[in-house]
Amino acid sequence: MKKLSVIFFVLVGFIFHAQAQGAVCPDPNTSALQWGIVLPPWHLDPFSENAPQGEPGTVFVRAYILVAGIGRGVVCTYRNSLGPYSIGWLVGVKIPPNTDMYWRNNLAGFDCTESIETCVFYTAEGASPTLLLKDD
């Protein structure tokens, strides 16, 4: 019986651990953004200065993990000839540890201005964004 309970707890731990997954912002040159289309689960940020234009030469500017307000999410900002635009994803996101060299803590969240590949964030889909308050 003890062996069965150990196996059960290992399986439950694996299931909850597997829900957290690494993600990055969509690449503006290889995703639907190259045609000016924002696909789910992403959406156009309501505070974005511009809409995606699907323009060659669009560059990634930064990723931002939001931690203030009513929930958490990620905002990705890009720039093209018209100026910057942002897309967002309201999802639970783990707060980066203090030892992460790419994410910088600032007033309302964490900022990464490196490349898309290095601005990795960890989501917990299915979890409420307000439940992930501390880094494990």
Q: How far apart are CA 136 and CA 119, in angstroms?
A: 19
Greatest alpha-carbon pair distance for the chain in Å reads 66
Position with higher pLDDT, 60 vs 68: 60
Per residue in 110-121, pLDDT tens?
A: 999 999 999 999
Q: How far apart are CA 1 and CA 6, in angstroms?
A: 9
Per residue in 119-131, pLDDT tens?
A: 999 987 654 444 3
Predicted TM-score (pTM) of the model is 0.76
